Amino acid sequence: MLKKLIALSLLFVFSVSAFALTKSEIEPEMRNKIDKVLIILKDSKIHKDSKAKEIINIMDSVFDYSLMAKLSIGRTWKELSSEQQDKFIKLFTEELKNSYVSKLDLYTDELVNILGTKEPKSNRVELQTVLVGKSDKYEINYKFYQASKDEDIWLIYDVELVGVSIIQTYRQQYAGYLKENSFDNLLELMKNKN
């Protein structure tokens, strides 16, 4: 169920506008875009690959994939060469997108209720939502940070599902793998999965 929950939350996160959001736009734009994604997901006439492309085409600029990759690998990041960092960002981004595309079939008419935002810190905003299925409800928090100190630009750096961070989950997986293997082995594994 957790895999399905992760996939569905990513479906809705990946629907945000093609431009970075201002702080005041986070809630209304996410609400608008989630509604659009639900329409796409419910349309049985649209092929799975087309659905994925329609949603992915509008997601990239609101995500800070570089920061997400850096956070997911933890302290190892500082030990990597620039070339290794670039490869990891690319493969991590592909892994997130492929995970999302492979789970499109899991959508079964769930609804998303937006509860509002909270600000745990001055440069952080969490959009709180609830994924409502036929028998269960799941809290999903979309975590934004202010990407520029001088501008009102906010990007997603993590998603928290029922209290579990996607980035923390990746970090634990990568840390476990790196205890027994080299970073280049991890890159090769990620490349083969993508």
Measure the CA–CA gap between 142 and 144, rounded to whole angstroms. 7
Closest listed residue to residue 38, CA positions, set 12, 5, 9: 12
Measure the CA–CA gap between 102 and 29, rounded to whole angstroms. 25
Measure the CA–CA gap between 168 and 159, rounded to whole angstroms. 10
**Exposure class string for 83-108: b at 16+ Cβ within 10 A, else e:** ebbebbbbbbbebbbebbbebbeebe
Per DSSP, the three-state class of 20 is coil
Closest listed residue to residue 35, CA positions, set 17, 62, 53, 57: 17
Report pTM.
0.82
What's the token pair of residue 82?
A: 């620039």
> Residue 10 pLDDT more than 60?
no
What pLDDT is stored for residue 3 in this prediction? Answer: 55
- H or E segment at 156? strand 154-161
Q: Alpha-carbon torsion 77, 82, 87, 90, what sign?
A: positive
16-71 pLDDT per residue, tens:
433 578 999 999 988 887 887 788 888 889 888 888 888 776 566 678 889 999 99
Confidence grade of residue 103 (pLDDT, cut at 50, 70, 90):
low
Give bridge partners of residue 121 from the DSSP assignment: 124
What pLDDT is stored for residue 100 in this prediction? Answer: 67
Confidence grade of residue 89 (pLDDT, cut at 50, 70, 90):
very high
> Residue 108 pLDDT more than 80?
no
129-146 pLDDT per residue, tens:
998 888 888 888 999 999
Per DSSP, the three-state class of 78 is helix
Confidence grade of residue 9 (pLDDT, cut at 50, 70, 90):
low
What pLDDT is stored for residue 138 in this prediction? Answer: 85
What pLDDT is stored for residue 18 in this prediction? Answer: 39
What pLDDT is stored for residue 58 in this prediction? Answer: 59
What's the token pair of residue 193?
A: 């999965």
Which domains occur in the chain, in start order? 2-193 (3.10.450.710)
Q: What is the mean pLDDT of the chain?
A: 84
